[in-house]
Amino acid sequence: MSKMNPYEMFLKQVDEAVPYLNVEQEFIDVLKEPKEVLEVTIPLRLEDGTVKVVKGWRSHHNNALGPYKGGVRYHPNVSKDEVMALSAWMSIKCATAMLPYGGGKGGVRIAPRELSKAELERLSRGYALAIARFMGTDIDIPAPDVYTNPQVMSWFLDTYEKVKGWNEPSCYTGKPLELGGSLGRGDATARGGMYVLREALKEVGLYGKPLTAIIQGYGNAGSNAHGLYSEIGLTVVAASDSKGGTYNPKGLNYEELMKHKKVSGTVADFPGGERLTNEEVLEIRADVLIPAALEGVINEANAAKVNAKVVLELANGPTTPEADAILEEAGTLVVPDVLANSGGVTVSCFEWIQGRTGDFWTEKTVHEKLDERLTHAFHEIWKIKKQQGIRMRQAAYVRAMGRIIAAMRFRGIWP
């Protein structure tokens, strides 16, 4: 694992884009720091009557382009630096997808699987109460992330509305349909990645051929990718989660693997494949590697062992800067997270618009709008990549930072 913490990764990625931007250093300096970070302490009453003190954060990185937007994750390893980095990546991601947002992110340091449903509800309401003064439809709009889901968003929304005393369905996204959620939100991250991957495969001459894929991280994004990506010719031959991986060179059956995961809680001992470690899964020869879990899984220690032609980053920050350079040297195309996984926040934006107007769209409309937006973003970034002769991540940062800094320049630096 890389020793570089997530925020240091973000700073290095910014520095790698700066030479290809004609901007004043003062704007780079501002962009390198979050505008504000709220740290909260949540006293959680457990079922046995004791109280567990839980730490949480909400980071506001930059709002030059609009209100802050970003998910909330529950994970035992969440840290302030991680939440800050994720909020900064959200600023870049929203600008990449041409959304009217800046970047925000939240996190709670907890192992949610160890909690009962009642404890999880109390924790969620405690966090929502703690950040209620820090967010709202035109301020900061949280959404689901790692180990949070529409049910958690429902508790967040209900708590916020009770505190404020009015209905405000667009203050959270990723909600159930019954509470103003959007059709097409559940698989939006994976679906957006599919549209981006389709265009990338066209550019490198692989589209239309039978291709193999590995999914590292079989959560929401990873499992949805398995179900969807056969539409563009991918056969998933390996998949992994926190407990290990499974491999079948002939392909893993999606329905059977999902059923097994739901029953056993892991893909590792799937009877339709050979059990492998997480490290071994990353090293399998395949056309496409899809990291869909946490940060830093492809790093300086293992990047040279990656045997994929394309890496599609459905996770946030899965490839360290050192690994980026190694993969580039090996001829592997890395489709960066700020583009590849922007489908989730894009459909969250659609949900926000629908909630504000009360005009709800069909799933077909959502898919068409998502495809159009991300296809356009891909080709804008690809054009910069080719013109400047730089990596795709650098090109995405050049485009996104250019948009953010243009807005900052018009606004001026004040106060």
Active site residue 105: yes
Please count the CA atoms within 13 angstroms of the CA of 331 that sit on its side-chain side: 4
Please count the CA atoms within 13 angstroms of the CA of 312 that sit on its side-chain side: 34
CA atoms of 114 and 305, how far apart (whole Å): 35
Catalytic residue among 69, 93, 105, 175: 105
Chain CA centroid to CA 362, Å: 24
**Beta-carbon count within 10 A of 368 CB:** 13
Residue 250 contacts by C-beta under 8 Å, 6 or more apart in sequence?
Answer: 237
What DSSP designation does 21 have?
-
Question: Is residue 86 within 8 Å of 50, Cβ to Cβ?
Answer: no
Length, in residues, of the chain: 415
Enumerate the H helices of 132-173 as residue ranges: 150-164
The phi and psi torsions of 320 (rounded to 5 degrees) equal -75, 160
Helix (H, G, I), strand (E, B) or coil at 75: strand
Tell how strand 140-144 and strand 211-216 pair up: unpaired
Amino acid at 164: K
Beta-bridged to residue 216, according to DSSP, are 240, 291
Question: Is residue 74 within 8 Å of 80, Cβ to Cβ?
Answer: no
Q: Where do the DSSP E strands lie in 5-67? A: 36-45, 51-62
Enzyme catalytic residues:
105
